[in-house]
Amino acid sequence: MTDNKTIAVNGKDYSITLKRFDQYTEPGGPSYHGYYVTIEGHGLTLKARKYDDGSEMSIQSGIQESDSDAIEIVRDIARQIFRTDQLLLLTTDNLSPYKKI
C-alpha cells in the first residue's frame, strides 16, 4: 500500500510518499511493520523508515547532520505525519549505526 501526501512546512509544500512494509522472518521469529518514507521538494530528497512500535523516524539517506534547516523541516514533517519529533540518522559507524539528531 502506498499513500501520497503533500505537507506544508514554512509555507513550502513537500511531497511525501509512505509505503507500508510488513516483513516476517521464519515462523515464531521477529516481524517488522512500518513505513518507508520518501520526502521530496525544494532541493530535499530523503529516504527514511518509521517502525510501528518505534517512537523515532530513522533517516536512511538524503540529509547530513550539519544541515540543521533540512533536519528541522524533516522533524516538522515527522511531527505532522507520525506525531513524533525524534529523528535518527544512519551513520557509517559499525558500533553505533544510528545517531540521534
Return d(Cα 70, Cα 75) in angstroms, integer: 8
Question: From CA 42, how far away is CA 25, in angstroms rounded?
Answer: 38
Q: What pLDDT digit, counting tens, does each position of 84-100 carry?
A: 989 999 887 777 888 89
Q: Mean pLDDT for the chain?
A: 92
Phi, psi of 80 (to 5 degrees): -70, -40
Residue 27, classified by CB atoms within 10 Å of its CB into exposed (0-12), middle (13-18) or buried (19+), is exposed
pLDDT at 28 over 90: no
pLDDT reported for residue 84:
93
Mean pLDDT check: name the lowest of 6-10, 47-51, 60-64, 89-93: 89-93
Show the beta-strand stretches assigned E in 1-101: 2-9, 12-24, 31-41, 44-51, 56-61, 86-90, 98-100
pTM value is 0.86
Task: Judge whether residue 45 has pLDDT over 90.
Answer: yes
Alpha-carbon distance of 25 to 29, in angstroms, equals: 5
